[in-house]
Amino acid sequence: MVIANAGVSRGTLTEHAEDAVAFREVMDINVLGIVHTFAPFIAPMRAARRGALAGIASVAGFRGLPGASAYSASKAAAIEYLESLRLELVGTGIAVVTICPGYIATPMTAGNPYPMPFLMKAERAAPLIARAIARRRRFYVLPWQMAIAGRMLKLLPRPLYDFAFAHAPRKPRRSD
Catalytically annotated residues:
71
Tell me whether strands 94-101 and 139-142 are parallel, antiparallel or unpaired.
Answer: parallel
Interatomic CA distance for residues 40 and 157, integer angstroms = 41
Burial letters for 28-52: b for 16+ Cβ neighbours within 10 Å, e otherwise? ebbbebbeebbeebbeebeeeeebb
